[in-house]
Every structure is written in C-alpha cells, then in structure tokens.
Amino acid sequence: MYACNIYGIYNNKNYKKISKNHKGIKSNQIRNLRGDYMETSKGVQEKDLRYRDKEWLENQYINQKKSSLKIAKECNVSKTTILKWLKIFEIPLRNNSEAHKGQEAWNKGIPRSEETKKKISVKAMGNKRFLGMNHSEETKRKISEKKKGSYPSEETRRKMSESHKGEKCHLWKGGISKEKGRFTASREWKKIRKAVYQRDNNICQCCDNPIIFSSNKHNLSFPNVHHIIGFKCRELRLILSNLILLCRECHLWVHSNRNKNKKFILEASKKNIQRILLYNKKRTILHYIYSLEVNV
C-alpha cells in the first residue's frame, strides 16, 4: 500500500528527488517500484509479472494464439512491454495476416455512408503508391502455377461478356462506334475467324504463301478474313462458306481496281446468297468451286 501511495504521489517526479524526500529509499528502488505498478483508469494497479516467464508467455502467444494486446491487458502492462519480452525470449512474432486469420472483420456487414465513401475517394485521388512496382520473378511464377488449367467455362465467359456489353461497359459513349468495329470485336466473329484459319491451314488462298501472325497489323503477310459477298449482307457475315483467308497484300489487291476479274467478289444477289447458303449447308468450300467456274 505504501508503494502504491509513493507511485501515485511521485509519478511525475525524478527518482533522485523522491529518494531525497524519503530517507532510506534509493533511486534504484523507486525505479523498480514504478516498474511493478501501472496507472490505469481504475487507479494504480499492480502488474501481473507472469509475462516474464518464457513458458507461460509462449503458451499464451503461440498455443492459445492470443494477441500481444490481449496479453498486455491481462497483465496490466503495455503492448510494447509484451513485444519486448517476446523479443527477449526469441519467440517468433506473427505477421498481420496470421494474427487476424479466422477472425471476422470489425466492420463486416456495416455499410459505408455516402460521406465516408466520398472521403475515401478524395483521399485516394493522386495516390501513386504502387506506380512502377512490379512483381518479383518468384511471385510471377507462383501466380502462373496457381492459374494453370483454370479457365472460365463458355457459360461464364458469355455472362462476363454480357455484363460488359453496351451501356454496361465503362467505356460506353452512347453508341458512337461504327457497326463494323462492334462486329469485329464480338465473340462470334473471333470464333468464326479461328475456324477460317483452321480450314485454310493458315495459307493465303490467293498467293499460297503462309500467313505470318504478328503484332503489326500493317504487315503485308498479316491474316485478313475476306467476305466474298460484302459485309453489307448481314445474313452472310458469319457464314463460313462466305469467308476466305487472305494475306493483307492480297486483300488490298482484291478490293483495288487492279482486280479486274473481281476475283473472290460476288454481288449480293438472291441467287448468289442462296448458292453460298447451300455450299455452307453441304460444308463445301465455295471459293474453290467459284474460282474454277470463273477461271481465275
């Protein structure tokens, strides 16, 4: 009790001053006395010194998985004191993810107010914390191994496409894109284009040279899928027998004035449309038959 009174009266005084005012008490004794007590909202309380026992502290922190703050509250000491003794006993500290594993977030199920959202948005403006930072090679390898063999199903891909189509897309500008641009970006066109590549064995059907796939679309050997009956005919845009694989150089030639015999070009007449649909139904290749008939 005498020790508690001394602590309460001389809490903010120098140890030497306290020892001078109390004969027979040395400054080291006062220091040790203050180290065994802690001032709290309930008054001055004696510390629980169990945290100085390595086995007890290891059992609380490692086995029972208590946090350093929880142990500190039980022993009436600060969190810093517990962390100091963990370091003294060489007990490995848990990182944040391990410490909070299995615990529910304190704000789970609590919706944010509009004012809070606005504050977060304003604070995040101009935040370039991760700008220019890249994953290490080890991290890239781990991400690659984890994602191997995990591909979304056709149904999932369709739903993903529908959820970002038209006005739902963040890049939507009111439908100002050209119709041909929207068509060539569709999944249906990409699928039929691959079928044309496979059918024609990645060879230009005009010059018989192999197609070269590159990032440069202006390369003269870049693959171009050509519509025999033009793009304006909607019902034949995705018909395989109406499509032919050409290199970029030959595709430019087909649509130029140099193509006097109109090779690989048909007018959108009813007869020609029915003819192409018939060839598609029989799964034959129209442009081979057509090229033999007109002798080009």
Would you list the DSSP string of 90-134? TPPPP-HHHHTTTPPPTTTT-PPPHHHHHHHHHHHTT--TTTT--
Does the pLDDT of residue 40 top 70, yes or no?
Answer: no
Domain contains 118? no
Number of domains in the chain: 2
- Asked whether residue 54 is domain-assigned, the answer is yes
pLDDT per position as a tens digit, 7-25: 444 454 555 566 666 666 6
Residue after which a domain boundary falls, among 45, 67, 97: 97
Give the mean pLDDT of 243-247.
90
First to last CA, the chain: 114
**4 pLDDT exceeds 50?**
no
Q: Which of 43-57, 77-91, 254-268 has the weakest average pLDDT? A: 43-57
Confidence of residue 278 (pLDDT cuts 50, 70, 90): confident
In the listed set 97, 115, 138, which residue is the last one of a domain according to the structure?
A: 97
Are the C-beta atoms of residues 220 and 247 closer than 8 Å to each other? yes
Highest mean pLDDT among 36-40, 41-45, 147-151, 225-229: 225-229
Predicted pLDDT of residue 170:
81
Which whole number is the average pLDDT over 182-211?
88
Flag whether 255 is in a domain: yes
| pLDDT for position 45 | 54
What is the predicted pLDDT for the residue at 221?
A: 74
Report pLDDT for 294. Answer: 42
Q: What is the pLDDT of residue 293?
A: 46
pLDDT digits (tens, 9 = 90+) for 50-65: 888 989 999 999 888 8
Share of the chain above pLDDT 90, in %: 7
Please name which of 46, 101, 99 lies closest in space to residue 70, comparing C-alpha atoms: 99
| Full residue range of the structural domain in which residue 235 is found | 184-293
Instruction: Kindly tell me if the per-residue pLDDT of 291 is higher than 70.
Output: no
User: Is residue 74 in some structural domain?
Assistant: yes
The answer to the question of residue 128 being in a domain is no
Domain boundary among 97, 124, 145: 97
Averaged pLDDT, 69-91: 89
- pLDDT reading at 218 higher than 80: no
- Whether residues 189 and 92 fall in one domain: no
For residue 31, pLDDT over 60 is answered with no
Measured distance CA(213)–CA(123) in Å, rounded: 45
Could you tell me whether strands 37-40 and 243-247 are parallel, antiparallel, or unpaired per DSSP bridges?
Answer: unpaired
Tokens of 176: 């100002």
Q: Does the structure show a pLDDT above 60 at 5?
A: no
Would you say 221 and 249 are in contact if contact means Cβ atoms under 8 Å apart?
yes
pLDDT at 38: 47
Q: What tokens were used for 82?
A: 């517990």
pLDDT score, position 115:
92
Q: Which pLDDT does position 14 carry in this prediction?
A: 57
Average pLDDT over residues 29-58: 66
pLDDT digits (tens, 9 = 90+) for 90-131: 999 888 777 777 777 778 888 999 999 988 888 877 766 666
- For residue 135, the tally of other CB atoms under 10 A from its CB is 10
CA distance 116 to 103: 24
Q: Please compute the mean of the pLDDT values over residues 222-234 and round it to a whole number.
A: 87
pLDDT band at 284 (very low <50, low <70, confident <90, very high): low
* β-sheet bridge partners, residue 150: none
Whether residue 32 is predicted with pLDDT greater than 70 in this model: the reply is no
Helix H or strand E segment including 224: strand 223-227
The reported pLDDT for the residue numbered 9 is 46
